[in-house]
Amino acid sequence: MLIKNISLLSGSELDYVPNSHVRIKNNKFQKIQSKIALDAKEESIDCEGLMLIPGFINAHTHIGDSVGKDISLNNSADQKIHPIFGAKSKILKNTSNDILANFMKNTCHSMIRKGITTFVDFRESGLEGVNLLKKVVSDIPIRSIILGRIEFYQGSSEIKKNQSFPKEKIEELSSLIKNCDGVGISGANENSTSVLKFYSKTSKIRAIHASETKESVAKSKKISGKSETTRALFLKPHFLIHMTNATKNDLKTASKKTRGIVICPRANSSLAEGIPDIEIMQKIGCTLALGTDNVMINSPDMFREMDFLWKATMGINKKRIAPKEILKMATVNGGKILQKNIGQIKTGQIADCIFLDKHALDLEPMHDPYASIVHRASESAIKAVMIGGKIIHGKI
């Protein structure tokens, strides 16, 4: 396929190119330059008036709770999402797989329409939960990265005693790992150091929630005398989730010992936990990606996530973040953290991308493409979504 006369955001820095030709072959960007001669029998599409941007990478979701939208709206974070006694865990246990699957499918289709080409899901309910999500996405053309979790949690006394991972759970964990992309651990406050170190030996992706709430940070200190982030790092995670209430020292350590941090500002705000300090995270050198988190409390919409982050950060801290940096969090940085060939319009990268209408009512005139995308664009500006070189939504 040859795409002609299109504007695009190119490479790892999302450099704006006002007019270019793009050849897509074997699911990847094969050639990107100002003019490309048409090959025999090659499909050619003139995309004058459109802009090509990388597909969004929603780097942290929980779509299993899609059935529970806005339940327990005014409750605390633990009352909503605690893995043992929260409303979410009760919903997952008391809802049939057929019903869960139906609403998970709806969420996947919603993400595609909003330009999300990859999502990374912390999937609860053990192997059964992983297999359910795999079944859901088997006939939906969205890229999924499933991080499973066995239903094993420890209390404060077990953590203080540093009880080890139970032998009877080893086979269950092994089976889980074989059937998904890695592990998504609930947090350090539900696992002893010994257990976290046991998980650290698993060979696939490892990620963990850390320092999301003030309560969880205080609990870690009380139980172990160590910060929650310090204990989470015993997992040797490839990336951390949230870090909303992490200290500067925690962030420095995380920047050295992980690939990056996935922040979820709208979800943190809906739980009344504030938003991450982006300025400090950037100064320390953390690679930041964006996630929309639980569907129960938040819509899976990266346009809204970027817009909220940009404006809330300015409103609270009175300091501006370049919109290009926020757009990188939704695209380029997710690919870097996952170490996948996605998130960039670049030769050799997988052709996951969004075709935006530059003449959309909310975008024209587009004086600053980064600002326009971050705080003006929405689903209505999308003409088409491509995953793996195929148009899977809309048309061009």
pLDDT tens-digit map of 152-167: 999 999 999 999 999 9
Q: What is the pLDDT of residue 228?
A: 98
Judge whether residue 325 has pLDDT over 80: yes
Residues 6+ apart with CB under 8 A from 67: 91, 95, 99, 100, 103
Q: What is the pLDDT of residue 85?
A: 75
Q: What is the pLDDT of residue 320?
A: 86
Judge whether residue 394 has pLDDT over 90: yes
pLDDT tens-digit map of 53-64: 999 999 999 999
CA nearest neighbour of 337 among 58, 24, 15: 58
Spatial distance between the Cα atoms of 392 and 109, rounded to a whole number of angstroms: 10
User: Which tokens go with 226?
Assistant: 């160590």
Alpha helices in the chain (DSSP H): 77-81, 87-94, 97-113, 126-137, 156-160, 170-178, 193-199, 214-224, 228-232, 248-257, 265-270, 278-284, 302-317, 323-329, 332-338, 369-375
DSSP string computed for 15-69: EEEEEEEEEEETTEEEEEES--PPPTT--EEE-TTEEEEEPEEEEEEEGGGGGGT
Residue 242's H or E segment, with its range, is strand 239-242
Judge whether residue 319 has pLDDT over 90: no
User: 340 — phi, psi (to 5°)?
Assistant: -120, 155
What region does 319 belong to: left with phi over 0, alpha with psi -120 to 50, or beta? beta
Q: Which domains does the chain have, with CATH numbers?
A: 2-55+343-394 (2.30.40.10), 56-338 (3.20.20.140)
> What's 309's DSSP letter?
H
Q: What is the pLDDT of residue 366?
A: 96
Spatial distance between the Cα atoms of 134 and 292, rounded to a whole number of angstroms: 20
Backbone CA torsion sign across 319, 323, 328, 331: positive
CA nearest neighbour of 243 among 259, 257, 264, 226: 264
Residue 43: which pLDDT band, with cuts at 50, 70 and 90? very high
Q: Which amino acid is at 318?
A: K
Strand, helix or coil at 264? coil
pLDDT tens-digit map of 7-32: 999 999 999 999 999 999 999 999 99
Strand, helix or coil at 353? strand
User: 186 — phi, psi (to 5°)?
Assistant: -60, -45
The β-bridge partners of 56 are 116
Q: What is the pLDDT of residue 71?
A: 86
Alpha helices in 321-367 (DSSP H): 323-329, 332-338
CA nearest neighbour of 269 among 302, 232, 242, 289: 242
CA nearest neighbour of 131 among 179, 88, 177, 96: 179
Contact 261, 288 (CB under 8 A): yes
CA nearest neighbour of 14 among 306, 386, 287, 370: 370
Judge whether residue 80 has pLDDT over 80: no
Q: What is the pLDDT of residue 247?
A: 97
The single residue listed with the structure tokens 């982030």 is: 229
| Polymer length of the chain | 396
Spatial distance between the Cα atoms of 212 and 271, rounded to a whole number of angstroms: 10
Spatial distance between the Cα atoms of 389 and 28, rounded to a whole number of angstroms: 6
Give the chain's mean pLDDT.
Answer: 96
User: Which tokens go with 98?
Assistant: 């057929």
pLDDT tens-digit map of 214-256: 999 999 999 999 999 999 999 999 999 999 999 999 999 999 9
Residue 289's H or E segment, with its range, is strand 288-290
Q: What is the pLDDT of residue 392?
A: 98
Q: What is the pLDDT of residue 78?
A: 77
Query: What proportion of the chain, given as a percentage, has pLDDT over 90?
Result: 91
Q: What is the pLDDT of residue 41?
A: 87
The single residue listed with the structure tokens 């030709």 is: 21
Judge whether residue 40 has pLDDT over 90: no
The single residue listed with the structure tokens 């757009």 is: 327
> How large is the average pLDDT for residues 158-180?
97
What region does 362 belong to: left with phi over 0, alpha with psi -120 to 50, or beta? alpha
Strand, helix or coil at 5? strand
Q: What is the pLDDT of residue 5?
A: 97
User: Which tokens go with 86?
Assistant: 């929260």
